[in-house]
């Protein structure tokens, strides 16, 4: 198998071009093998390239534990850059089919290479049936107790389920997210967990526990969810710099939805005999 390793603000992925469907229906087992950081290549997940009848290209996302993800913000930036740089789709606007529908990637070109990618991430839904969550009312500043600790949570569907906990980051260990993720009294399918600190009205800091991957250096959909939650609570404006352990992305909240802007990087290419 030929592969490319990429990352978006430290959220790393293995890109596999499978337009000939050689690995069809094997994605889960492949992800668990390749993403192992000791016995494999090491990554937070794999991104599989497939042809699409309704978009320019399709992205299949599999987490490191083998579970399927409908959407990944950092992943789709890496995916779009790869498709552009490798001349698979050489357009300044690329339509990408995901499990959360078609997303549009706008490419900022620099000498034939995608330097920045702006992604239309869709809209955030606070309806509990969409998250899904087992409460009737929107989850905004809702109090829960996990392991005898109080959390004020804000939950939404931002492509995938996200829960945002506001507060000083120093008060939270990101690994606390594993217990909120599986808080079955509310989240029957689990949730991604973001701890978000507001610096000022245009800047937040975030650290994320990802459902299916654990603590990551960055989560694109989590950055968007955190910006949306902070704005909804009246703590920030509609254009926000989001600082994560792996770098910086920018989130813009428009009338038609949420946009994320950031870079991505190819770290290395290789061939593996593990598959």
Q: What is the pLDDT of residues 94-130, one digit of tens each?
A: 999 999 999 999 999 999 999 999 999 999 999 999 9
Whether 239 is in a domain gets the answer: yes
76 found inside a domain: yes
267 and 235 share one domain: no
Residue 252 lies in a domain: no
The torsion defined by the Cα of 189, 17, 27 and 97, in degrees rounded to 10, comes to 30
C-alpha–C-alpha distance, residues 142 and 165, integer Å: 10
pLDDT at site 169: 97
- Pair 42, 12: CB distance under 8 Å: yes
Q: How far apart are CA 18 and CA 215, in angstroms?
A: 28
Q: Is residue 236 domain-resident?
A: yes
In a domain, 6, yes or no: yes
Domain co-membership, 151 together with 224:
yes
Annotated catalytic, 78? no
Q: Is 10 exposed, middle or buried (CB count within 10 Å of its CB: 0-12, 13-18, 19+)?
A: middle
92 is in an annotated binding site: no
Q: In this structure, are 42 and 119 located in the same domain?
A: yes
State which residues form the domain around 56: 2-123+261-271
Catalytic residue among 72, 78, 196, 224: 72
Rounded to 10°, the helix 73-85/220-232 angle is 130
Residue 101: CATH number of its domain: 3.10.310.10
**Hey, is 166 helix, strand or coil?**
strand
Answer yes or no: is 136 within a domain: no
Q: Do 73 and 96 sit in the same domain of this protein?
A: yes
Q: Is residue 202 part of a domain?
A: yes
User: Is residue 164 classed as helix, strand or coil in its secondary structure?
Assistant: strand
- Strand 203-210, strand 239-244: pairing: parallel
Q: What is the mean pLDDT of residues 36-49?
A: 97
175 annotated as a binding-site residue: no
8 and 55 in a single domain? The answer is yes
Residue 222 annotated as lining a ligand binding site = no
pLDDT one-digit tens code per residue, 48-82: 999 999 999 999 999 999 999 999 999 999 999 99
Catalytic residue, candidates 35, 78, 196, 219:
219
> Is 221 known to sit in a ligand binding site?
yes
The predicted model scores a pTM of 0.92
pLDDT at 248: 97
Q: Is 254 exposed, middle or buried (CB count within 10 Å of its CB: 0-12, 13-18, 19+)?
A: exposed
Query: How many residues are listed for the chain in this entry?
Result: 275
Annotated ligand binding at 211? The verdict is: yes
On whether 74 is known to bind a ligand per the annotation, the reply is yes
Strand partners, 118: 106, 261
Let me know if 219 is a catalytic residue: yes
């Amino acid at each position: 198998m030929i592969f490319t390793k990429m990352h978006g603000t430290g959220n790393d992925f293995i890109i596999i071009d499978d337009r000939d469907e050689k690995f069809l229906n094997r994605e889960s087992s492949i992800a668990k093998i390749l993403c192992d950081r000791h016995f494999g290549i090491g990554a937070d997940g794999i991104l599989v390239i497939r042809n699409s009848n309704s978009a320019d290209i399709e992205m299949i996302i599999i987490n490191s534990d083998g579970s399927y993800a409908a959407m990944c913000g950092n992943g789709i930036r890496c995916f779009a850059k790869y498709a552009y740089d490798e001349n698979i789709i050489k357009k300044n606007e690329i339509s990408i089919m995901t499990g959360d529908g078609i997303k549009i990637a706008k490419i900022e070109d620099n000498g034939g290479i995608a330097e920045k990618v702006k992604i239309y991430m869709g809209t955030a839904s606070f309806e509990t049936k969409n998250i899904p969550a087992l409460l009737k009312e929107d989850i905004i500043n809702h109090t829960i107790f996990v392991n005898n600790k109080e959390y004020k949570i804000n939950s939404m569907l931002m492509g995938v389920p996200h829960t945002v906990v506001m507060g000083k980051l120093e008060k939270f260990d990101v690994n606390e997210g594993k217990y909120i993720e599986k808080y079955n009294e509310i989240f029957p399918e689990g949730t991604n967990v973001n701890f978000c600190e507001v610096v000022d009205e245009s800047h937040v800091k975030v650290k994320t526990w990802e459902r299916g991957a654990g603590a990551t250096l960055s989560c694109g959909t989590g950055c968007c969810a955190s910006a949306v939650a902070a704005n909804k609570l009246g703590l920030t404006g509609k254009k926000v710099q989001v600082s994560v352990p792996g770098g910086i992305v920018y989130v813009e909240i428009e009338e038609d939805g949420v946009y994320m802007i950031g870079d991505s990087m190819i770290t290395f290419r290789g061939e593996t005999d593990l598959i």
